[in-house]
Chain A
Amino acid sequence: MNKLLPIIFIFMLAVACSILIGPGQLSNEIFQLRLSRIILGIFAGGVLGFCGAILQGLFNNPLVEPYTLGSASGAALGSSIGILLFGTVSPLFAFLGALGVGLFVFTVARIEGGLIRDRLILSGVVMSFLCSSLVMIIMITGGKELYEILYLLMGYLGIIITSANRILIIGSIIISVILVIYLYRFHRELDIISQGIETATGLGIDIQNFSLILFFTTSLLIGFVVSIVGAIGFVGLVIPHISKLVFGPKHINNLPVSFLLGATFLLFADTLSRTITVYELPVGIVTSLVGVPFFIYLYRK
């Protein structure tokens, strides 16, 4: 409990910075704009941190992160195809792309039989490469659309909420909150899996089932995030490690803390992305540039 308070304080600070810092006077309009960024930032950062923790626990692998299973590349591909065919960026195409690739990854991983968990990573990595290549082709032949896809690939919290996509976004956030709460119940299973498949099976976990439930649920969550704000990198990889460094390995702590820290980190990164240069940087660039040295510093302690 005593460690949680400073984290909550830092979170509040991040929200405050997001509201107050930035060009121009704080008018009502600007406040509304920043509020939408804050909500999206908490949503995206929280879900990415949370899913990173889930996936690192499921695969018992500290290098796994939300995009390992292909959803980012899938979303980029879906969006690119959407732009190519219909000329607009819509969260719907990105989401379908993410989900489609998720299904594909699952289908490929199932082929040989055996433990599906171990095949999901390989399948995901391969599909990511494939999708990235296809996106590149579309970008090269598309020309003008290049710019918009870039923001999708790197992540951007300042999207304009139109009446068209408002419902999609609110709906996605509500469903995501429900899914996050649902996934939280697996904190014990994730603790146990860290000791190996045999121990986990011996204690009563059906690994095949468990892997699939977590895979599909996180794919949905990541699909929601990427389809709305793009592929913000680094958060899902690093935040769970920071959480474990400070709060210990138990997932009953690790999962909610990863959510909170992810949200906090992304809000700070977003504030920075708005102030650091004249042009607004995609927040994904900031998360990587800031995150790397910070993580190295923490790891050396």
Chain B
Amino acid sequence: MNAIEAKGITFSYNKTEVIHNVSFILKEGEFLGIIGPNGAGKSTILRILCRILIIKTGTITVFNKDINSLAQKELAHLFGFVPQETHFGLDFSVEDIILMGRYPYLRPFQRETKNDCEAVERAIQYANIEEFRRRRINSLSSGERQRVVIARVLAQKPNILLLDEPTSHLDLKHQYDIMRLLKELNSQGMSVIIVNHDLNLASLYCQRLILMHHGKIYAEGTPQSLINEKTIKEVYNTAVKIVTHPDKNLPQIFLK
């Protein structure tokens, strides 16, 4: 059974077609990267999957269940979504933010259980944010805030992680930390879809890539097969030099 099967998705924002007839599969336990130029529709795909945007054309099944047949709370058991940026209107503590990740599992007047608190503890350890767990969220840098959001999605314990440009605001060390964390989670069975601008990161960490262009899937395959000078030139209209990473058999892009 595939984790996700998407068929014939078409989506328009205000009469402008943004996604056209997109179909793809996510295998269980796969680490999939969606790449492509600005406006290609990458982030839109993630939002469609967790039903932040609702499609009128096409079907999406998650573990063989149609997403439109599921309540939003049930969907939150399956998908954990990390947006590119989160603005915190109210200045909660980091612990409180992460505890909110347990919301999909709580009934109306129910208190948080021991189980929930343990999930929060493990998430804090995993995301390595023990040092600022009691601080107010708006007192942290944007990189630190991003790690808190990732910790929250870990506490949510979904089957599939959806991350929209998770490393774009992070410094080198934290980029590496996050990607390594995702890789570790993936090796333990978590399916991951990541949208990333950074083609080199995508190449190093994703098992498979989907390259989008003008709302359609231009190509898909392993980084080795997808990232080549011809394809990059056609989609990004930029001439680049592809070099194999000295330690891994993976392509890396250098600007000419």
A residues adjacent to B (C-beta < 8 A): 60, 185, 188-189, 191-192, 194-199, 201-206, 244, 249-250
Q: Which residues of chain A have C-beta atoms less than 8 A from B75's C-beta? A: 204
Of the candidates A60, A194, A204, which one forms a contact with B104 in the assembled complex, judged by CB atoms under 8 Å apart? A204
Cα A276 to Cα B2 in complex, Å, equals 74
B51 interfacial by beta-carbon distance below 8 Å: yes
Whether B87 lies near A196 (C-beta < 8 A) is yes
Whether B90 lies near A202 (C-beta < 8 A) is no
Q: Which residues of chain A have C-beta atoms less than 8 A from B76's C-beta? A: 202-204
Q: Which residues of chain A have C-beta atoms less than 8 A from B87's C-beta? A: 195-196
Interface membership of chain B positions 69-104, coded 1 if the CB is closer than 8 angstroms to chain A and 0 otherwise? 001111111011101001111111000100011011
Q: With A198-B81, A202-B76, A205-B72 given, is the CB distance from A185 to B90 under 8 Å?
A: no
Q: With A185-B109, A195-B89, A198-B52 given, is the CB distance from A206 to B83 under 8 Å?
A: no
B250 interfacial by beta-carbon distance below 8 Å: no
Cα A162 to Cα B51 in complex, Å, equals 54
CB distance from B123 to the nearest CB of A (A): 14
Whether A199 lies near B86 (C-beta < 8 A) is yes
Q: Which residues of chain B (100-136) have a CB below 8 Å from chain A?
A: 100-101, 103-104, 106, 108-109
B27 interfacial by beta-carbon distance below 8 Å: no
Cα A194 to Cα B96 in complex, Å, equals 13
Whether B72 lies near A249 (C-beta < 8 A) is no
Whether B72 lies near A204 (C-beta < 8 A) is yes
Number of interface residues of B (CB under 8 A): 31
A-B interface contact total, Cβ < 8 Å: 70
CB distance from B83 to the nearest CB of A (A): 5
Q: Which residues of chain A have C-beta atoms less than 8 A from B73's C-beta? A: 204-206
In the A-B complex, the 9 residue pairs with the closest CB atoms: A204-B76, A202-B81, A249-B90, A204-B73, A194-B89, A204-B104, A194-B90, A185-B108, A206-B72
B40 interfacial by beta-carbon distance below 8 Å: no
Query: Which of chain A's residues has its CB closest to B90's CB?
Result: A249
CB distance from A133 to the nearest CB of B (A): 33
Among B51, B74, B81, B90, the one with the most A-chain Cβ atoms within 10 Å of its Cβ is B90
CB distance from A102 to the nearest CB of B (A): 24
Of the candidates B71, B77, B83, B89, which one forms a contact with A198 in the assembled complex, judged by CB atoms under 8 Å apart? B83
Q: With A185-B108, A195-B86 given, is the CB distance from A201 to B51 under 8 Å?
A: yes
Cα A192 to Cα B79 in complex, Å, equals 17
Q: Which residues of chain B have C-beta atoms less than 8 A from A205's C-beta? A: 72-73, 103
Of the candidates A185, A197, A203, A250, which one forms a contact with B92 in the assembled complex, judged by CB atoms under 8 Å apart? A250
Whether A191 lies near B71 (C-beta < 8 A) is no
Q: Which residues of chain B have C-beta atoms less than 8 A from A198's C-beta? A: 47, 52, 81, 83
